[in-house]
Amino acid sequence: MSLSSTSTFPASISDQPSRRIVIGITGATGAIYGVRLLTILRDMPDIETHLVISDAGALNLHQELDINRKQVEALSDAVYSTREIGAAIASGSFQSDGMIIAPCSMKTLSSISSSLCDNLITRAADVVLKEHRRLLLMVRETPFNLAHLRNMISITEMGGIVFPPLPSFYHRPKNITEMVDHTLGRVLDLLMIDNDIVPRWSGLKKSLNKK
C-alpha cells in the first residue's frame, strides 16, 4: 500500500495494518539508521510507516549514503514535508504505535524537550509524548555538553526514550550493516515489534577458569 500525505485512509479498521510507526530523519550524522530502519520495516506487512525528513537530514543522506530524499521516501507508506503542520501525524487523534527519530540532532532534541513544535517532526514527537506513546530518539553527538544532557533528562522525565546508537561488539559484527542492525533490533524491541535481526544473548560460550 502506497500512501501520500493527502491519501484517504481505509474506512474499515480491518483494512488497516496492525501497527503504524512514525519515523523522522534529521540532520545528525547516522542517516544509515533511518534508511536501514525503513528497509527493515518495509518487509513487515503488518507495519505502516509515516516518514518526515528534514532539509538537513536530506543533505546527510547525500553526504553519507549518496542517495537522495526521493529514494528514501520510496521506502515509506506515507511521506510528509516538515512544513506540513496540518498533516495527519500532527494530531493526537491519529493512532500510531510510536515514533522513532533516526538519527536525532541536538536541535531536534532541544525543540522536543521544550515542546517548541517548530516543524512536523517536533510536532509529531510532541503528540506522541502527550498521548503517552513510545518516542525513541536516536541522538547523535559527541561529546555531550550540559545542555544536551539536560534535554535528555527532560525527554526521559516526559516518558521518551533516549537511545544513542552505540554499537555493541559482543556479537562480533562482521560489517557496518550488522552493527547497525543490532542497534535497530534493540529499538524495535522497545516498540514491541518482533524481529530476528538481533543476535540474542544466551550467556558466555565458556565459563571462565577460576584461579
- Report the DSSP beta bridge partners of residue 20: 48
Q: Please, are residues 68 and 103 in contact by the beta-carbon 8 Å criterion? A: no
What cell does 206 get? Answer: 565458556
Q: Which residues contact 70 (CB under 8 A, 6 or more apart)?
A: none
Walk me through the domains of the chain, giving residue ranges and CATH numbers. 18-190 (3.40.50.1950)
Beta bridge partner(s), residue 98? none
- In this prediction, residue 208 carries a pLDDT of 56
Q: What percent of the chain has pLDDT over 90?
A: 83
- Dihedral class, residue 98 (left if φ above 0, else alpha if ψ from -120 to 50, else beta): left
> Global pTM?
0.89
180-192: per-residue pLDDT in tens?
Answer: 999 999 999 999 9
pLDDT of residue 205: 72
